Amino acid sequence: MECALDAQSLISISLRKIHSSRTQRGGIKLHKNLLVSYVLRNARQLYLSERYAELYRRQQQQQQQQQQQQQQQQPPHHQHQHLAYAAPGIPASAADFGPLQLGGCGDAEAREPAPRHQLHQLHQLHQLHLQQQLHQHQHPAPRGCAAAAAGAPAGGAGALSELPGCAALQPPHGAPHRGQPLEPLQPGPAPLPPPAPAALCPRDPRASAACSAPSVPPGAAPQAAAAASPSTSPAPASSPGFYRGAYPAPSDFGVHCSSQTTVLDLDTHVVTTVENGYLHQDCCASAHCPCCGQGAPGPGLASAAGCKRKYYPGQEEEDDDDEDAGDLEAEPPGVAPFAPCKRARFEDFCPDSSPDASNISNLISIFGSGFSGLVSRQPDSSEQPPPLNGQLCAKQALASLGAWTRAIVAF
The minimum distance between CB 358 and other proteins, in angstroms, equals 23
Closer to other proteins by CB, 84 or 100: give it.
100
| Residue (of 14, 6, 5, 3) closest to 367 by Cα position | 14
43 near other proteins (CB under 8 A): yes
Q: Is 271 helix (H, G, I), strand (E, B) or coil?
A: strand
104 near other proteins (CB under 8 A): yes
32 near other proteins (CB under 8 A): yes
Number of residues counted as binding other proteins (CB under 8 A):
53
205 near other proteins (CB under 8 A): yes
176 near other proteins (CB under 8 A): no
The minimum distance between CB 239 and other proteins, in angstroms, equals 19
DSSP string, 142-161: PPHHHHHHHHS---TTS-PP
Q: Is 347 exposed, middle or buried (0-12, 13-18, 19+ CB in 10 A)?
A: exposed
Q: Considering only residues 13, 86, 357, 401, which one is a binding residue for other proteins as defined by CB under 8 A?
A: 13
313 near other proteins (CB under 8 A): yes
409 near other proteins (CB under 8 A): yes
Site string for other proteins, 120-159 (x = CB under 8 A): ----------------------------------------
The minimum distance between CB 35 and other proteins, in angstroms, equals 5
End-to-end CA gap in the chain: 35
Which residues neighbour 64 within 8 Å (Cβ) at sequence distance 6 or greater? none
316 HSE (CA, 13 A, CB side): 25
The minimum distance between CB 44 and other proteins, in angstroms, equals 10
Asked if 233 and 65 touch (Cβ cutoff 8 Å), the reply is no
DSSP string, 254-312: GGS--BEEEEE-TTT-EEEEEESSHHHHHHH-STT-TTSTT----GGGSPPPPEEEE--
- Rounded Cα distance between 352 and 54, Å, is 26
Stretch that binds other proteins, among 19-27, 133-141, 214-222, 360-368 (CB under 8 A): 19-27
Closer to other proteins by CB, 68 or 101: give it.
101
Which residues neighbour 332 within 8 Å (Cβ) at sequence distance 6 or greater? none
Asked if 398 and 366 touch (Cβ cutoff 8 Å), the reply is yes
Closer to other proteins by CB, 25 or 68: give it.
25
Stretch that binds other proteins, among 24-32, 116-124, 249-257, 384-392 (CB under 8 A): 24-32
- Rounded Cα distance between 204 and 10, Å, is 19
The minimum distance between CB 367 and other proteins, in angstroms, equals 14
Q: Which amino acid is at 198?
A: A
| Residue (of 263, 260, 256) closest to 280 by Cα position | 256
Q: Considering only residues 8, 49, 259, 405, which one is a binding residue for other proteins as defined by CB under 8 A?
A: 405
| Residue (of 158, 154, 155) closest to 178 by Cα position | 154
Q: Considering only residues 140, 299, 326, 379, which one is a binding residue for other proteins as defined by CB under 8 A?
A: 299
Instruction: Tell which positions 44-63 bind other proteins, by CB under 8 A.
Output: 46
Which residues neighbour 131 within 8 Å (Cβ) at sequence distance 6 or greater? 184, 384
The minimum distance between CB 266 and other proteins, in angstroms, equals 5
**CA gyration radius for the chain?**
20
Asked if 148 and 166 touch (Cβ cutoff 8 Å), the reply is no
Asked if 162 and 193 touch (Cβ cutoff 8 Å), the reply is yes
346 near other proteins (CB under 8 A): no
Instruction: Tell which positions 265-284 bind other proteins, by CB under 8 A.
Output: 265-267, 269, 281-282
Q: Considering only residues 119, 154, 285, 401, which one is a binding residue for other proteins as defined by CB under 8 A?
A: 285
Closer to other proteins by CB, 16 or 120: give it.
16
Which residues contact other proteins (rule: CB under 8 A)? 1-3, 5, 10, 13, 17, 25-27, 29-32, 34-35, 38-39, 42-43, 46, 99-105, 203-206, 209, 263, 265-267, 269, 281-282, 285, 299, 302-303, 313, 334, 371-372, 403, 405-406, 409, 411
